[in-house]
Structure 1
Amino acid sequence: MQARPPPTVLRTVPFAHYSVAWSPFHPNLIALASAANFGLVGNGRLHLASIGAMSPEAHLNKSYDTQDGLYDSAWSEIHENQIVTASGDGSLKLWDITLNVSIHTYPSPDLPIRAWHEHTREAFSVDWSNIEKELFASSSWDGTIKIWSPDRPSSIRTIAAHSTCAYQALFSPHSPHHIVSCSTDGTLKIFDLRTPTPAPGSGPLAAPAPAALTVPAQGTEVLSLDWNKYRPFTIACGGVDRRVTIWDCRMVNSAGPGAAQVGGLLQSEMRGHEYAVRKVQWSPHHADIIASASYDMTCRVWTTSAAPPQPTLRSIHDLHTEFVVGCAWSLFEEGVLASCSWDCSVHVYRPDIM
């Protein structure tokens, strides 16, 4: 059997990575949201790099420093040179990567072109809608989801999604009206943006807004989720219980008028990670392939359409030396995966899954 080529590796010591995101416009351009001292204290940095799957070369193009650690980033869907980041101080920042590094440039290339600070605790995720391309969403440890437009000085809408930390919120790739979130309360919640929501109360313990559907996904914290790109209302999630679970969210239990809708059919689960699952992402090219990253220092790839109908572990990438907290499939090159870690490196490789 022919050995797989080693991954292309880029190191950014001393900044540990929290997320990796491929540009939707440039095939080999990635963004890394990073933090000093593992995000516990100190500043952050947004790294922009050119990196390929089968080439040993990786180039760090630019970096932007922030006063607090960065936990996530999302590329604009309408402007190829803009990217938004989520920070530990609760702020969101929009960057233009074409600004030249020059002391005569105004605004300074080290400063964002726009910044918002409405979250009262850590902003932990950002996601740009690929349908309503002028909108992006953020979620925070303050329990809220906020909807934003880059052209507005304040958020368009605030949803008090959870009474505890909202780790991630993602727009549906199938419908402009739905957004899903996950939390320390062990649930996935789907919100219909056409439904008016009451203004959130003050503080992190504000009563959550009514969800279109609540899925009791796991008995412990749900740290990550993702919509299947080909099957509407099929959602995968991973969390502290070390499982990756897949839910059919079309299944709703009957409820009386005004009652909260609770449902979700557990289609399958994947066991094998030794510690909490920190990130899950469906392939953009296959409906039955999903990647997961874990605190066990591995990134794994699974197929969900095996016979018998149980997910099959297809690949384990175990070359990181610290927690693997992010992974992302290339949008342009089928089967290429990036994983990032607290070991201050990003690996780009092609898992042996075909």
Structure 2
Amino acid sequence: MNRLAPLTLYTPGFAHYGIAWSPFHTTRLAVASAANYGLVGNGRLHIASIASLPGVPPTISLEKFYDTQDGLYDVAWSEIHENQLVTASGDGSIKLWDIMLNDLPIRAWQEHTREVFSVDWSNMNKDLFISSSWDGTVKLWSPERPRSITTLQAHTTCVYQALFSPHEPDVIATCSTDGTVKIFDLRMPAYAPPAPGSANFTKPLSAAALTVPASGTEILSLDWNKYKRYNLASGGVDKMVKVWDCRMVKIGPAGQETAFQAVGGICEAQFAGHEYAVRKVQWSPHRPDLLASASYDMSCRVWSTNPTAAGTNLVYIHDPHTEFVVGCGWSLYEEGVLATCSWDCKVNVFRI
């Protein structure tokens, strides 16, 4: 794929919110989108594929799409059925689709009381997935069950993303409007005990194994490093991409803040350069040092935790989009290939 000529798929009328590569088909992508920028109206799930023949430039095309009654905010492929995937919807529903069938989902769940903003399928317990919502909860699901298995009252405010650890099957990470990243162990008791002398049981919070005070503003995205068991990246409204080691979240003394200080928690590294909020971060599945970030400044940037010869951590900038870049995803099979999706209704696939 030519580095200077990204492949572009245009989905007129539907601004994007999430993008995911299939774990089974090397050239297949799913895109979650919404009409009217998700403010009002319906949504659409797009299934796209890249065709590459010897001697012919590769192309990207739309295989099929599914319309929904409300906007779609995220999508995740099944890790056990090659043609199935789940979507997160603005009406609080979660739907399971089979792309071998037309028109309707094969299953739907309606438990969240507000928008579902993320879904993630476990790549270890392959029959489970999780969802996070603006209602402050994270729910654990099996496609074979009519109701959720577990509900975590993870935050008191919107949970923008929840992700399974790629190393520990019962560990998940969450990020929220409250500026924290939390780590939960699903084997632990569901709810934290009330404070001594307290009789308030109206909004119990699930017990987190670790709470990282990551920012004074909203954390919009996080991702686990695929090679380093305890490393997480986060991005949010403060325009920073931050790297955390869960074993060593240091708390700096008051009045002695450093360049890596963030509301008490000191990260391992941070990358500055985006002009507006960072909407998505994702580690490379092929290299432990590479990290991509998508931003409201209409760019996707690639960072390395190892400084380049020029002394910078910035490796590459992709900026042909004309609206918010809200999603980025590394190809699972081809190193260095990234896909981005944006409010300009365009998917770009390119090589760094």
The two structures have a TM-score, normalised by structure 1, of 0.89
**What is the CA distance between 1:198 and its match in structure 2?**
3.0
Task: Output one character per residue of 1:147-193: Cα deviation in whole Å (capped at 9) or x when no partner.
Answer: 00000000000000000000000000000010000000000000011
SS of equivalent residue, structure 1 residue 38: helix
Task: Find out whether 1:290 has 2:288 as its counterpart.
Answer: no
Query: Which of these residues, 167, 182, 195, is aligned with residue 189 of structure 1?
Result: 182
Residue identity (%) = 68
Kept after mapping to 2: 8 A contact 1:20/1:33: yes
Query: Which of these residues, 160, 163, 166, is aligned with residue 173 of structure 1?
Result: 166
Query: Which of these residues, 103, 107, 111, is aligned with residue 110 of structure 1?
Result: 103
CA–CA distance in structure 1, aligned partners of residues 237 and 220 of structure 2 = 7
**What is the CA distance between 1:20 and its match in structure 2?**
0.7
Kept after mapping to 2: 8 A contact 1:91/1:115: yes
| 1:94 corresponds to | 96
Query: Which of these residues, 73, 97, 118, is aligned with residue 75 of structure 2?
Result: 73
> In terms of mean alpha carbon deviation, does 8-17 or 243-252 score higher?
243-252
What count of residue pairs does the alignment treat as equivalent? 329
Kept after mapping to 2: 8 A contact 1:289/1:303: yes
| 2:206 corresponds to | 209
| 1:248 corresponds to | 245
| 1:258 corresponds to | none
Q: 1:90 to 1:199 in 2, by over 3 A?
A: farther
CA–CA distance in structure 1, aligned partners of residues 58 and 324 of structure 2 = 23
Kept after mapping to 2: 8 A contact 1:327/1:340: yes
Q: 1:85 to 1:52 in 2, by over 3 A?
A: same
Q: 1:110 to 1:47 in 2, by over 3 A?
A: same
CA–CA distance in structure 2, aligned partners of residues 55 and 97 of structure 1 = 26
Q: 1:221 to 1:309 in 2, by over 3 A?
A: farther
| 1:230 corresponds to | 227
CA–CA distance in structure 2, aligned partners of residues 280 and 253 of structure 1 = 22
Superposed, which structure 2 residues align to 1:139-150 within 5 Å?
139-150=132-143
**What is the CA distance between 1:308 and its match in structure 2?**
9.3
Task: Output one character per residue of 1:82-109: Cα deviation in whole Å (capped at 9) or x when no partner.
Answer: 000000001000000011xxxxxxxxx2
CA–CA distance in structure 1, aligned partners of residues 332 and 38 of structure 2 = 28
Q: What letter corresponds to residue 66 of structure 1 in structure 2?
A: T
Q: 1:247 to 1:199 in 2, by over 3 A?
A: closer
**What is the CA distance between 1:207 and its match in structure 2?**
3.1
Which ranges in structure 2 are unaligned for 5 or more consecutive residues? 194-201, 252-262
**What is the CA distance between 1:264 and its match in structure 2?**
6.1
Q: What letter corresponds to residue 283 of structure 2 in structure 1?
A: W
Q: 1:307 to 1:22 in 2, by over 3 A?
A: closer
Superposed, which structure 2 residues align to 1:1-354 within 5 Å?
4-51=3-50, 55-99=57-101, 109-198=102-191, 206-251=203-248, 265-306=266-307, 312-351=313-352
Kept after mapping to 2: 8 A contact 1:49/1:62: yes
Kept after mapping to 1: 8 A contact 2:189/2:207: no
**What is the CA distance between 1:51 and its match in structure 2?**
2.1
Task: Output one character per residue of 1:243-299: Cα deviation in whole Å (capped at 9) or x when no partner.
Answer: 000000112679xxxxxxx99651100000000000000000000000000000000
Q: What letter corresponds to residue 245 of structure 2 in structure 1?
A: D
What root-mean-square deviation, in Å, do the aligned CA atoms of Structure 1 and Structure 2 show? 2.1
> In terms of mean alpha carbon deviation, does 309-318 or 61-70 score higher?
309-318
**What is the CA distance between 1:65 and its match in structure 2?**
0.4
**What is the CA distance between 1:233 and its match in structure 2?**
1.4
Kept after mapping to 2: 8 A contact 1:191/1:213: yes
CA–CA distance in structure 2, aligned partners of residues 193 and 263 of structure 1 = 26
Q: 1:296 to 1:195 in 2, by over 3 A?
A: same
Which ranges in structure 1 are unaligned for 5 or more consecutive residues? 100-108, 255-261
SS of equivalent residue, structure 1 residue 133: coil
Kept after mapping to 2: 8 A contact 1:280/1:291: yes
Kept after mapping to 1: 8 A contact 2:192/2:204: no
SS of equivalent residue, structure 1 residue 284: coil
